[in-house]
Chains A and B, each alone.
Chain A
Amino acid sequence: MRYAGTAHKVGDHIDTDAIIPARFLVTTDAQKLGENCMEGLEHGWVARVKSGDIMVGGRNFGCGSSREHAPIAILGAGMPVVVAHSFARIFYRNGFNMGLLLLEVSDDVDKIADGDDIEVDAASGVITNRTTGATITCAPVPQSMRELLDTGGLVPYVRARLERENG
């Protein structure tokens, strides 16, 4: 799996209320949630995003509530990947379960600036900043997790596995 797009960089401790404020939790529809992605950070923030772009966060990205709507909103906005210094625990699980690729890169996140053109190779864990030429290597996403992502998250993943096992 390779992804390439423009980096949209946000700060430290971006909480789930910033990603998708509670007033938008009246739906579980990815597109509707995506239209309001990061509304709790800045009104109209999502207008900058093109499909395939990459979210870049600081420390403790996704802290706060356990709402699964947060990773759905990021996906719904067209961003299949979040690269961050670190993630909050529940968000990390919910992210993969909803089919969102999360890459933890620690201080190397400083090698990416807002608007840089970056490429992510999930299999090797290499992130290339095509604007600056810098590369970041993080732990490759294990095969089992890539399988989870390839099928679109936990619900379709379990559905596909059950269909396969039950013939």
Chain B
Amino acid sequence: MAHTLAQKILQRHTDEAITDAGQIVRCRVSMVLANDITAPLAIKSFRAMGAKRVFDKDRVALVMDHFTPQKDIEAAQQVKLTREFAREMGVTHYYEGGDCGVEHALLPELGLVGPGDVVVGADSHTCTYGGLGAFATGLGSTDVAGAMALGETWFKVPPTIRATFTGTLPAYVGAKDLILTLIGAIGVDGALYRALEFDGAAIEALDVEGRMTMANMAIEAGGKAGLFAADAKTLTYCTAAGRTGDAAFSADAGAVYERELSFDVTGMTPVVACPHLPDNVKPVSEVKDVTVQQVVIGSCTNGRIGDLREAAAVLRGRKVSRDVRCIVLPATPGIWRQALREGLIETFMEAGCIVGPATCGPCLGGHMGILADGERAIATTNRNFKGRMGSLESEVYLSGPATAAASAVTGVITDPSTL
């Protein structure tokens, strides 16, 4: 049978023959992930299961990234509980201090996830690793506890929606604009229970980081996974991350798709998702006179080195508006150091940005940039639900790094090509 990417990857991890979407299969997992919010609950279930050890000390990642550096006593208690569990179990990949970053930027950088892997995480943005050709999806804490104990979990094989992007990306239009355009087209439940599979000339031209940006937001369309074929670029990225033995693969010719969509990117302009849903997408040019008090550049969606380069290119030689606080959070210490070496940190500081540590922080309204009543932010993050970044009376617009940086300069939501 011809397999979609989702079916092909799952087939490698199960002994049952995958013949159809909807089939339930038991799959071995390559990596199991939890963070400082979800790990404590998973640990509780893990204990209730009577588990004495994790299935593989090298295949469990516990990343303390959401409310860290520990923002208050409760956050510190959660991290402490997880740290003690990690030590007790001998978990290799426990990250908290100066080696810790935003989980979905950190794991690919460390080579802990790669093409053909099945990854489950107690975090909805686990789907990010689809950018590397991994079947990766978010689960509940009890599911993750089971996977930590057994090294396997069950999946219902998803039908796949194929999204083909043709043409050549114009200047200032990037991966974030492509995924927001798709979400705007199909809606926040448009891929409910489905896998999204991305292909086409514009996808082949996209770097691996951009693919991860797109896969990251598959969940914002309700998707179970967002998948890219593993090509030469993927292999180069994975080799640089220290992995060996990865191989390129793509969906089988003749694979059956439930729905096929096509987008020509050639004439595209930058877009934003307006409050309060990620599918409320408009061209930046149509969003007039919208002032912002905060700009956030970072997160598991757009906090990688390419994103920082894009933002720095706009901010170089310019100043952040006096009415704006522009917060830049490189997503991992590795990205931070690279940005330092390239002079990007200097550019951000010269422009008047606040450069902070690698943390999810403001993305989920945790800390390090919270909005007051009536305040508005433009952010390179992934969700603009009501109250997501602070007050219920605040607003969040989502964009790519160039648009966010341009808006920081002017203090109003701005198309970077007009700066």
* Given known A68-B142, A94-B140, A158-B146, contact A144–B50 (CB-CB < 8 A): no
Using a CB–CB distance below 8 Å, which chain B residues touch chain A? 16, 22-26, 45, 48-52, 139-140, 142-143, 145-146, 149-150, 154, 156, 192-193, 222, 224
A161 touches B150 (CB 8 A): yes
A97 at interface, CB cutoff 8 A: yes
B50 touches A163 (CB 8 A): yes
Name B224's contact: one of A89, A141, A145 (CB within 8 Å): A89
Name B192's contact: one of A89, A144, A155, A161 (CB within 8 Å): A89
Chain B positions within 8 Å of A166 at CB level: 52
Name B140's contact: one of A93, A158, A161, A163 (CB within 8 Å): A93
B143 touches A154 (CB 8 A): yes
* Given known A139-B22, A158-B49, A158-B149, contact A89–B193 (CB-CB < 8 A): yes
Chain B's closest residue to A161 (CB) is B150
Chain B positions within 8 Å of A97 at CB level: 140, 142-143, 146
Chain A positions within 8 Å of B156 at CB level: 92
Chain B positions within 8 Å of A158 at CB level: 49-51, 145-146, 149-150
A142 touches B24 (CB 8 A): yes
Sample of 14 more A-B contacts, CB < 8 Å, known A90-B140, A144-B26, A158-B150: A88-B192, A89-B222, A93-B143, A97-B140, A142-B24, A142-B25, A144-B24, A148-B154, A158-B49, A158-B149, A162-B49, A162-B50, A163-B50, A166-B52
Chain A positions within 8 Å of B149 at CB level: 158, 162
26 contacts between A and B (CB under 8 A): A66-B140, A68-B140, A89-B192, A89-B193, A89-B224, A90-B140, A92-B156, A93-B139, A97-B142, A139-B23, A141-B24, A142-B24, A145-B24, A154-B49, A154-B142, A154-B143, A155-B49, A155-B146, A157-B146, A158-B49, A158-B146, A158-B149, A158-B150, A159-B51, A162-B49, A162-B50
A3 at interface, CB cutoff 8 A: no
A88 to B22: give the CA distance in the assembly, Å: 13
A142 to B17: give the CA distance in the assembly, Å: 12
Chain A's closest residue to B41 (CB) is A68
A96 at interface, CB cutoff 8 A: yes
Chain B's closest residue to A92 (CB) is B156
**10 tightest Cβ-Cβ pairs between the two chains A and B:** A158-B49, A159-B50, A144-B26, A89-B193, A159-B49, A158-B146, A154-B146, A158-B149, A142-B24, A155-B48
> Closest Cβ of chain B: how far from A142's Cβ, in Å?
5
Chain A positions within 8 Å of B50 at CB level: 158-159, 162-163
Chain B positions within 8 Å of A159 at CB level: 48-51
A161 to B48: give the CA distance in the assembly, Å: 13
A148 to B142: give the CA distance in the assembly, Å: 14
B51 touches A162 (CB 8 A): yes
Interface core residue of A148, A155, A157 (most chain B CB under 10 Å): A155
* Given known A89-B192, A93-B140, contact A155–B150 (CB-CB < 8 A): no
Chain B positions within 8 Å of A155 at CB level: 45, 48-49, 142, 146
A96 touches B154 (CB 8 A): yes
A92 to B192: give the CA distance in the assembly, Å: 12
> Closest Cβ of chain A: how far from B216's Cβ, in Å?
18
A94 to B156: give the CA distance in the assembly, Å: 13
A92 to B16: give the CA distance in the assembly, Å: 21
Interface core residue of B16, B45, B50 (most chain A CB under 10 Å): B50
A167 to B224: give the CA distance in the assembly, Å: 36
A144 touches B142 (CB 8 A): no
Chain B's closest residue to A148 (CB) is B154
A51 to B143: give the CA distance in the assembly, Å: 27
Chain B positions within 8 Å of A157 at CB level: 146
A157 to B143: give the CA distance in the assembly, Å: 12
Enumerate A63-100 residues with CB–CB distance to B below 8 Å. 66, 68, 88-90, 92-94, 96-97
